[in-house]
């Protein structure tokens, strides 16, 4: 599929100055995201979340971000003013975080939170926002949107909370959705349901999705393409269906070290890290 | 038949005041043979950790019968009973005291149980879990997640228990580290003849570690099967089949089949 890239990232670096010298969290990452599902996988500390945050300029103040190119549908995000970035965040790129327990406001009705996300980016009356919210909640397959609208976050289950988060992120109709471990806090059967909603919305709206995850199995079955990160670099990219035939020893090692239901083994192979991978 | 290491009969646990108590575990019965690893799987809130806490003695508000080596355990335990049943918790970032050195963390159970040769025991416990003496005077924040979980395992092992209760011991770890910790647990079981009760939401981990598996849902033990049955999909309950399918990864057709709304409820 040759689609014009929605998001184009070239030579992205995120560095931190620490008392022990400079620490580079992301070191020269380049990739494009079109209207497709791209998986960004890696272990904790590999820089995958920092990459997602750098795109939205949500890195901590002491982080130094640089890139040769960082553009969304042709617009240079590096040159965007803070006000312009605020308009872009949510409206054109939005982000779903890991745990709905921490990303929803605990003292505000969930429906009002979704409506707020609409009102920030659209000039509309509260009545219209409410209607749009109820419609959006129905789209994320919440059966009784009117009842759910008036609930507080502590009154909804984890799976429903994550669907509300997705509704909140999609109501301004962004072009690109960055989902940072959106299903890690959920049970596997609920996870499938949340993914199915994302899947349908991506295909029906032509949304680009950057799916950040540590779960290789999940990414290989859910995404179209996979980028594997190690120590701040992308060490391998391939079609998700070909992840099983991955070539990089790190990817191979990660796949190997997973216990498998279909292939019992007395011992799990342990990943031996090669210092050369850092620069390969 | 030999005496089971652990025998749990009609265990029920309720929380809250008596007149409107919420029952979270309903009449659960299972037993584990000496040297066996038994897995309890289920989704969050199904009561699997609550069962572990009742067996460990952390929660004394239960009814039913729990027997260790054929001897009944009362809700209140003796020191010796506590020593024989130890627990490893899920989160190695939360389960170690942040202001205690590894040495202090490992010596505390020895002091509580009045065991001698503390120096030698701490040293041996660290070696057993593959950490050298260099780690002994460090603080938890100086260790990686995998190293911390090794310390947590060493702390449980230092009292030489017979039964180890493992509450999601690897779910907070990366897969490469998970493999190391699972291998370590397997080695310890083989070398020391331990019995494991492992709680997890990850079917692959449970099938890898355990001979037999109990599937829980909403406080009840839905079905028991062997790890081989689980691998082959020879399971009785529709719920277990769905759980198995969902564990394999994402499948759009599968997601469609399910009634996507059945989990929707007020938590």
- Summarised one tens digit per residue, pLDDT across range B215-255 is 999 999 999 999 999 999 999 999 999 889 888 888 877 77
Angle of CA points B39, B42, B48, to nearest 5°:
70
- CB pair distance less than 8 Å for B208 and A193: no
Across the interface, of A155, A214, A261, the residue whose CB is closest to B204 is A261
Q: What is the pLDDT of residue B17?
A: 86
- CB pair distance less than 8 Å for B231 and A253: no
- CB pair distance less than 8 Å for B264 and A142: yes
Q: Which parts of chain A are beta strand (E)?
A: 7-18, 21-33, 37-41, 63-66, 69-72, 75-76, 93-96, 176-180, 208-213, 225-230, 233-239
Q: Which residues of B touch A191 (CB under 8 A)?
A: 246
Q: In a structure prediction context, what are the per-residue pLDDT tens digits for chain A, which is 280 residues long?
A: 455 689 999 999 999 998 888 999 999 999 999 999 999 999 888 999 999 999 999 999 999 999 999 999 999 999 999 999 999 999 999 999 888 888 899 999 999 999 999 999 999 999 999 999 999 999 888 889 999 999 999 998 888 898 899 999 999 989 999 999 988 878 888 888 889 888 988 888 889 999 999 998 899 999 999 999 999 999 999 999 999 888 899 999 999 988 888 888 888 888 888 888 887 6
Q: What is the pLDDT of residue B186?
A: 94
Q: Which residues of A touch B246 (CB under 8 A)?
A: 188-189, 191-192
Q: What is the pLDDT of residue B190?
A: 93
- CB pair distance less than 8 Å for B174 and A187: no
Q: Mutation target for B interface from A166, A185, A187, A270: give the one with most B CBs within 10 A.
A: A187
The answer to whether the beta carbons of residues A77 and A70 sit under 8 Å apart is yes
Question: What's the CA gap between B93 and B225, in Å, rounded?
Answer: 33
Classified as helix, coil or strand, B213 is strand
On whether any CB of chain A is under 8 Å from the CB of B190, the answer is no
Q: What is the pLDDT of residue B171?
A: 86
The answer to whether the beta carbons of residues B110 and B158 sit under 8 Å apart is yes
Enumerate the domain spans of chain B. 6-257
Q: Where along chain A do the CATH 3.40.50.300 domains lie?
A: 1-92+175-241
SS3 percent helix, strand, coil of chain A, rounded to 5, is: 40, 25, 35
Ranges under pLDDT 50 in chain B:
260-261, 263-267
Tens digit of each residue's pLDDT (9 = 90 or more) over A40-70:
999 888 999 999 999 999 999 999 999 999 9
Which residue's entry shows tokens 């109501």? A171
Q: Which residues of A touch B180 (CB under 8 A)?
A: 270
Question: What's the CA gap between A47 and A59, in Å, rounded?
Answer: 12
Domain A1-92+175-241 has CATH 3.10.20.30: no
Question: What's the CA gap between B40 and B167, in Å, rounded?
Answer: 10
- CB pair distance less than 8 Å for A43 and B174: yes
Identify the closest residue of chain A to B45 by CA–CA distance: A187
Q: What is the pLDDT of residue A3?
A: 53
Q: What is the pLDDT of residue B266?
A: 34
| CATH number of the B6-257 domain | 3.40.50.300
Identify the closest residue of chain B to A143 by CA–CA distance: B261
The answer to whether the beta carbons of residues A116 and A105 sit under 8 Å apart is no
- How close, in Å, is residue B22 to chain A by CA atoms? 17
Token pair for B4: 């089971």
- CB pair distance less than 8 Å for B250 and A156: no
Q: What is the pLDDT of residue A107?
A: 95
The answer to whether the beta carbons of residues B181 and B169 sit under 8 Å apart is yes
Q: What is the pLDDT of residue B263?
A: 47
Question: What's the CA gap between A182 and A115, in Å, rounded?
Answer: 21
């Amino acid at each position: 599929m040759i689609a014009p890239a929605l998001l184009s990232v070239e030579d992205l670096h995120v560095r931190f100055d620490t008392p022990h010298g400079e620490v580079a969290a992301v070191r020269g990452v380049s990739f494009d995201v079109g209207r497709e599902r791209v998986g960004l996988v890696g272990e904790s500390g590999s820089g995958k979340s920092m990459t997602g945050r750098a795109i939205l300029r949500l890195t901590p103040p002491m982080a130094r971000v640089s890139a040769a190119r960082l553009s969304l549908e042709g617009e240079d995000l590096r040159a965007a003013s803070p006000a312009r970035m605020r308009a872009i965040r949510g409206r054109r790129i939005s982000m779903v975080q890991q745990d709905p327990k921490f990303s929803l406001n605990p003292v505000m009705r969930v429906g009002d939170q979704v409506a707020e996300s609409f009102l920030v980016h659209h000039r509309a009356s509260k009545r219209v926002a409410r209607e749009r919210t109820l419609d959006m909640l129905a789209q994320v397959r919440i059966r009784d949107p009117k009842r759910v609208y008036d609930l507080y976050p502590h009154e909804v289950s984890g799976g429903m909370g994550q669907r509300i988060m997705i509704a909140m992120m999609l109501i301004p109709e962004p072009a690109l959705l960055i989902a940072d471990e959106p299903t890690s806090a959920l049970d596997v059967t609920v996870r499938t349901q949340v993914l199915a909603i994302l899947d349908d919305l991506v295909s029906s709206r032509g949304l680009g999705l950057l799916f950040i995850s540590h779960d290789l199995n999940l990414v290989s079955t859910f995404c179209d393409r996979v980028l594997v990160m190690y120590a701040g670099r992308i060490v391998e990219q391939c079609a998700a269906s070909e992840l099983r035939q991955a070539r990089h020893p790190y990817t191979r090692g990660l796949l190997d070290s997973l216990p498998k239901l279909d292939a019992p083994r007395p011992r799990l192979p342990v990943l031996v890290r090669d210092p050369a991978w850092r620069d390969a | 038949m030999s005496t089971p290491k652990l025998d749990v009969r009609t265990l029920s646990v309720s929380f809250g005041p008596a007149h409107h108590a919420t029952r979270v575990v309903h009449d659960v019965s299972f037993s584990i043979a000496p040297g066996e690893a038994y897995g309890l799987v289920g989704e969050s809130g199904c009561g699997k950790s609550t069962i572990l806490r009742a067996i460990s003695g952390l929660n004394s508000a239960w009814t039913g019968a729990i027997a260790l080596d054929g001897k009944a355990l009362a809700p209140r335990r003796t020191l010796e009973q506590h020593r024989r049943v130890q627990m490893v918790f899920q989160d190695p970032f939360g389960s170690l005291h942040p202001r205690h050195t590894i040495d202090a963390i490992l010596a505390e159970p020895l002091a509580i149980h009045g065991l001698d040769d503390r120096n030698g025991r701490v040293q041996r416990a660290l070696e057993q879990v593959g950490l050298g003496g260099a780690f002994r005077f460090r603080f938890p924040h100086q260790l990686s997640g995998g190293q911390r979980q090794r310390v947590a395992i060493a702390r449980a092992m230092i009292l030489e228990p017979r039964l180890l209760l493992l509450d999601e011991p690897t779910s907070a770890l990366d897969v490469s580290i998970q493999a190391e910790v699972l291998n370590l647990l397997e080695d310890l079981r083989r070398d020391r003849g331990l019995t494991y009760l492992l709680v997890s939401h990850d079917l692959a981990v449970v099938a890898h570690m355990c001979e037999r598996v109990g599937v829980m849902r909403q406080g009840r033990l839905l079905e028991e099967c062997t790890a081989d049955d689980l691998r082959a999909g020879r399971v009785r309950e529709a719920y277990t089949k769905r759980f198995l399918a969902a564990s394999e990864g994402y499948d759009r057709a599968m997601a469609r089949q399910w009634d996507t709304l059945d989990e929707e409820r007020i938590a």
